[in-house]
Amino acid sequence: MIEEFGGRALPVRCDVAQSEHVQAALNQAVGAFGRLDVAFNNAGAGQKPSVTVDVTEEEWDRIIAINLRGVFLCMKYEISLICSMGAARS
């Protein structure tokens, strides 16, 4: 729909819990658009409603990896990228 209305879009598959995936996705975005102006970190994972004792440690680790580590990694590399681009423009 973005392109239908005259915009540009770049779909990228990315596991936000993996540092190398985040960096690759950001590199693809910069390669396609020339820079990063804004970021919206909206990846998230949930689980079916259940009581705490029924949640496995593996499921908990998966949720934490996506919901917390993923946001951290995205912000870490986005901020670094924006700062380095700003320094390059100065």
Q: What is the pLDDT of residue 87?
A: 63
The residue behind tokens 């998966």 is 62
Domain membership flag for residue 4:
no
Query: How far is residue 41's CA from residue 16's CA, in Å, rounded to a whole number?
Result: 9
For 11-34, what is the mean pLDDT? Answer: 96
pLDDT at res. 48? 85
Amino acid, res. 68: L
Residue 3 lies in a domain: no
Residues 62, 45 contacting (CB under 8 angstroms): yes
Structural domain boundaries, residue 69: 19-89
| Residues composing the chain | 90
Mean pLDDT over 65-90 rounds to 87
In a domain, 8, yes or no: no
Are the C-beta atoms of 14 and 68 separated by less than 8 Å? no
Instruction: Answer yes or no: is 23 within a domain.
Output: yes
Mean per-residue pLDDT, 50-73: 94
On whether residue 39 sits in a domain, the answer given is yes
Report the SS3 class of residue 28.
helix
